[in-house]
Structure 1
Amino acid sequence: MAVVIGWGAAGCSPGTRASSKAVIGVDAPIALADQAVHLKISGLEPHDEITVGSSATTHDGKVWHGQATFTADGHGLVDLSTTRPVSGTYHTVDGMGLFWSMRPPTSDPNSDYFYPYYPELSPSYTVQITVTAHGRRLTSRTLTRQWAAKGVSARSLTLAHDKVVGEMFLPRPGTPRHPAVLAFGGSEGGIGSMKYAAALLASHGYPTLALGYFAIPGLPARLQNIPLEYFATAARLLAAQPDTDPAHIISMGYSRGSEPALLLAEDYPDLIHGVVVYSPSSNVNPGIPGSGNAWTKDGNPIPLGGISLDHLSGPLLAIAGADDALWPSPTYVKAITDELHAIHDRYPYQTLVYPGAGHGVGTFPFLPEGTVDPSLGGNRVGNAAAMEQGWPKVLALLATSRGECHGARTKAGSPVKATCGG
C-alpha cells in the first residue's frame, strides 16, 4: 500500500523572509492515486496571501495545472483540508481540490482527457506542488500517485492464448484470497480508463481483469452481437487465479457495460456473486450503431427490454449522477431498486444518485478531467464529489463480499445495513 512519511520540509528558495521558511508538509508523499493526502503550508508570514499550484503531465506530454490562492492564518499556516481558497480552479474547502481541478492547456477542454501512462506501463504518475507569493516561488514538492502498490503485477490477455482480450492485475504474491472484479466500460469500446481502476483495486488486494469486448483487433468492431459467453469466459479465467476467492466474483460495468454486468449476474449466478454498475441501464438496449442487437446468448439475440434480477447471488451497488444527460440513469437506478424490493432480494443492495454529477459519476476519485462535455451532463465539482464518496462504497462492498449477507435492503441513497460473516 502507500508509504507514509511524516511531515517534512521541502527545498526553499532564497529571498524573502517568508520564502526562507516556507515548508510544504504532506502526510503521504507516496500514496495510491485514490488516497487522499493532507497538505499543509507552514513557515509563512501571518495573514500573507499565497498561491498553491499543482501540475501533472499526461502520456502525450501535455501539462495540466491547478491553483488556489489562500490567506495564511495568524501563525503563518495554510491547511488545505480546512481552508477555503480566495480564488482558484476550485472554490470550496477541499483538501484534494488541487488534484481533481487541474485543467488542460488546450483551448477546448472538452476534447482533452487526463491520461497518464497506463498502469501496466508505469506504476505511478507525479504531481508537482508549488507555493508562490508576491511574484516569488517559495518552495515546491513532488508527490507520487501510485496506480499499482508494490508487488502488484499486470498481464496482457490475448484471444490466441486466453480467448479474451484484457489486462489482468493481481495483488502481491501471497495475498490471502480475496473477491475479484471483472471490469469493463461502455460504448467507447476498448479497455481504456478501466485499467486504472483495475490496478487500484488490485492494490487494495482484489484481483481485477479490465476486459475489452469490442473495438479491439480480433473482436467485433461495433457494439453488436457480443456473446454473453465471452464475459463468462473472462470471469472463469479470473476465478482461476491463485489470489482469487472463486466464490466471490463481482461484475463491474459502466454505462452500456452495465447491461452485460447485470445479465451476467442474472444468467450465471454460480459464477458471478455481486454487481457494481455506474451510470447504468435497467434495460437491454439496441446495438450501436443502428437498431440491431447488442448482446447474444447461446447464439440467440438477447431481447430488448427490462433486465430480470431474480437470480442474483450477491450484493448490488448502482451509482448514478442526478444530472446525467446521456441517458436517464437515475430512472434506471430506481427501476433496479424497485425490482429488487419487489422480489424481496435477500442480498444487500444500495443505489446512490449524486446531485451535480452526470454520466461521468465514476469510478475512483482525485484524477482531473477537462470541463465536462455538456452531452454527459453534470459538472466537475459534482462528479468529483460523487467519485470521492462513491469509491469507498465499492471498496466496502468488496470487503463485505467475503462473508454471507442476510436480508438487508436499502432505499436509494441510504447506507447499506447488512450483517456479514467471514
Structure 2
Amino acid sequence: MVLLTATPRSSLADEPVKIHITGLEPSQIVTIWASLTDEKGMLFKARAFYKADKNGEVDLERDAATGGDYFGVQPMGLFWFMKPEKPFIRLMKRDVMNTPYEVHLDVFESLQLFFSSQDQPAASQIVERWYSTPGMQRISVRHGRIRGALFIPAGQGPFPGVIDIFGGIGGLIEFRASLLASSGFAVLALAYFAYDSLPNFLYEIDLNYFEEAAEFLLKHPKVCGPGVGVLGICKGAEIALAMATFLPQIRATICINGTNAINGGPLRYRDLHIESIPYKLECIQVTEGGVLELFRSVEETHTEEHQGSILPLEKAQGKILFIVGESDMNYNSKAYAMQALKRMREHGKTHCALLSYPGTGHLIEPPASPFCPCSISPFLPLPVLWGGEAQAHTTAQVNSWREIKTFFRLHLSPVQSSRL
C-alpha cells in the first residue's frame, strides 16, 4: 500500500515540511501534487515527478525531482513553486489568526501532467500551514490617525518592536507581520493609504504619521525600548529609509528593494519638505504577454538635478540593512542600495550593510510565499512584472527571512550590539 507521510502535519507557514512516500515499486515514476485554495477561492498548485528508489521509496529531502514545476533536490519545492490556476494572482494570507492554509498533498502512481479532482490518488495527506502561534494576540489599531494591526507574541515580554510596511498596493497586509511576531517580535502591520479612514491615494509621505506609529509602538507595555525597528518593501522601503534618516525612535531598518530617494510625491516632516523625483510614466513598457514593466519609470538618483530628493541617510542613528534582488524588474534596487552605501562611506558611516541576491526579483517575501514573477496591482490596468528566476528567488526568500530575524534580534535587544 502506498503511504504518504508529511511531517509536521501542522506548522507555521515559514517552517519546513518533510515528505516521504513508501510502498511503491522499485524505480516507479510517480507524480506528487500540492494544492491549496485561498480565502478568495483561488486555486494554487504545483506538481513534481519522482522516481522511487530500489526500496520503493521517495524522500524529498534526498531525492531529486526529475521534472514538473521544478527539478533537483527541493524538499520544499511543492510549496515554493505553487502557481495560481488563474494567471497573475498573488498568494497573500488574509485571515492570519483563525484559519491555516490547508495544503493537499496527493501521490499518483504514474506521470500525471494535469491536475484533476476526478482522478483518485494512491495516497494523500493534508497539512496545515499557520500564520500565528497559540497565545499570540492580534489587536486592531485605531489610535489617533494610526491604522493597522498589532501582533503581540504569547508570553510576558517585553518584546522587540517592529513596524512592518508594504508598498504601492496600499491597504493593510498582515501575513509578514504575523509570521515575524510568531518568532518573538511585537509587530505593528501599518497601513498608510487605501485603508479605513486613510487617504485613498498616496499623494505625499507624511513622516509625522509614521513617527506617531513609532511612538505608539514604543509606549506599549509589551514592547522593549529604547527604539523600534522598521521593515519595508518597495515604496515601504523608501518610507522605512526616511524613517531611519529622520526619526530618533528607529534603531534598526531593513529596506527590501526600494530606492534611496523620495519618488512620486513629496515628503513632509515638521518643518522639513523634500521634493520628489517624478515617475516617468511614459517609460512604462508593455511586454508581449500584456504585463507592465515599470523598471524604467523610476529615474536614476545619482544625477545632479535629483540631489535634493536623495535621503541624507548619514543622519540615521540606527543600523540599516538593504536587501535587494539583482533581477528586480520594478526598481534598479541594487544600484540604489550601492549609491546609499557609497554616500555612507563618504560620510565615514559604517552602520549600513547590503544583502544582494542574483536571479532574485522584486517580491522578496517570507519562504511561506511561492515565487510570484508578476501579479495584478489594484492601481494599474495591467499586471506588473516583478522579475526573478524561480530557483534563485525561492532560495533568497529562505536566506533573507533568516537574516531579517537575526538582524532585528541583534539590534533591537535592550542591550544593543555595535556589530552589523
* The two structures share one fold, judged by TM-score above 0.5: yes
Contact 2:44 2:84 in 1 (8 A): yes
**Are residue 189 (structure 1) and residue 166 (structure 2) matched?**
no
Aligned to 1:353: 356
- Listed one character per residue, the Cα deviations across residues 14-63 of structure 1 (whole Å, up to 9, x for unaligned) are xxxxxx1x222333221111112222212322211111110111111122
Q: 2: distance between equivalents of 1:179 and 1:312? A: 19
Pairwise mapping of residues 69-80 of structure 1 onto structure 2 (< 5 A)? 69-80=49-60
Q: 2: distance between equivalents of 1:246 and 1:51? A: 51
Aligned to 2:369: 367
Aligned counterpart in structure 2 of residue 113 of structure 1, from 78, 87, 90 = 90
TM-score, normalising length from structure 1?
Answer: 0.83
- Listed one character per residue, the Cα deviations across residues 138-179 of structure 1 (whole Å, up to 9, x for unaligned) are 211111111000111111112xx44211111111142x3222
Q: 2: distance between equivalents of 1:370 and 1:285? A: 25
Aligned to 1:306: 310
Contact 1:265 1:275 in 2 (8 A): yes
Cα deviation for residue 343 of structure 1 reads 2.9
Pairwise CA RMSD: 1.9
Cα deviation for residue 119 of structure 1 reads 1.0
Aligned counterpart in structure 1 of residue 260 of structure 2, from 251, 265, 282 = 282
SS of residue matched to 2:374: coil
Cα deviation for residue 299 of structure 1 reads 5.6
Contact 2:4 2:124 in 1 (8 A): yes
Aligned to 2:101: 125
SS of residue matched to 1:390: helix
Aligned to 1:49: 29
Change (3 A) 1:281 1:371: closer
Change (3 A) 1:115 1:53: same
**Are residue 167 (structure 1) and residue 149 (structure 2) matched?**
yes
Change (3 A) 1:341 1:49: same
- Listed one character per residue, the Cα deviations across residues 63-117 of structure 1 (whole Å, up to 9, x for unaligned) are 21111010011122211122221111112321111002112122xx22x122343
Cα deviation for residue 335 of structure 1 reads 1.3
Q: 2: distance between equivalents of 1:184 and 1:232? A: 13
Aligned to 2:416: 404
Change (3 A) 1:38 1:162: farther
Contact 2:92 2:175 in 1 (8 A): no
Contact 1:207 1:243 in 2 (8 A): yes
SS of residue matched to 2:122: strand
Contact 1:181 1:252 in 2 (8 A): yes
Paired AA for residue 404 in structure 1: Q
Pairwise mapping of residues 194-273 of structure 1 onto structure 2 (< 5 A)? 195-269=174-248, 271-273=249-251
Q: Which runs of 5+ in 2 are unaligned?
A: 111-118, 277-308, 376-383
Contact 2:147 2:196 in 1 (8 A): no
Paired AA for residue 94 in structure 2: Y
SS of residue matched to 1:82: coil
Contact 2:371 2:394 in 1 (8 A): no
Aligned to 1:381: 391
Cα deviation for residue 368 of structure 1 reads 2.4
Q: 2: distance between equivalents of 1:398 and 1:300? A: 29
Cα deviation for residue 363 of structure 1 reads 2.0
Paired AA for residue 344 in structure 1: G
SS of residue matched to 2:385: coil
Paired AA for residue 336 in structure 2: Y
Q: 1: distance between equivalents of 2:93 and 2:247? A: 35
SS of residue matched to 1:209: strand
Q: 1: distance between equivalents of 2:165 and 2:198? A: 14
Paired AA for residue 367 in structure 2: P
Q: 2: distance between equivalents of 1:171 and 1:105? A: 35
Aligned to 2:123: 139
Q: 1: distance between equivalents of 2:152 and 2:354? A: 28
Q: 2: distance between equivalents of 1:212 and 1:39? A: 38
Contact 1:63 1:105 in 2 (8 A): yes
Q: 2: distance between equivalents of 1:327 and 1:346? A: 25
SS of residue matched to 1:283: coil
Cα deviation for residue 311 of structure 1 reads 2.8
Paired AA for residue 273 in structure 2: P
Contact 1:197 1:364 in 2 (8 A): yes
SS of residue matched to 2:250: coil
Change (3 A) 1:315 1:264: same
Aligned to 1:296: 268
Paired AA for residue 359 in structure 1: H
Cα deviation for residue 369 of structure 1 reads 4.8
Q: 2: distance between equivalents of 1:103 and 1:326? A: 21
- Listed one character per residue, the Cα deviations across residues 196-228 of structure 1 (whole Å, up to 9, x for unaligned) are 000011111101011111122422222112310
Aligned counterpart in structure 2 of residue 395 of structure 1, from 396, 401, 405 = 405
Paired AA for residue 163 in structure 1: R
Pairwise mapping of residues 24-63 of structure 1 onto structure 2 (< 5 A)? 24-63=4-43
Aligned counterpart in structure 2 of residue 67 of structure 1, from 8, 30, 47 = 47
Change (3 A) 1:189 1:351: same
Q: 2: distance between equivalents of 1:117 and 1:303? A: 35
Change (3 A) 1:129 1:369: same
TM-score, normalising length from structure 2?
Answer: 0.83
Percent of pairs identical after alignment? Answer: 27
Q: Which runs of 5+ in 1 are unaligned?
A: 1-19, 288-292, 409-417
Aligned counterpart in structure 1 of residue 339 of structure 2, from 330, 335, 338 = 335
**Are residue 317 (structure 1) and residue 321 (structure 2) matched?**
yes
Paired AA for residue 324 in structure 1: D
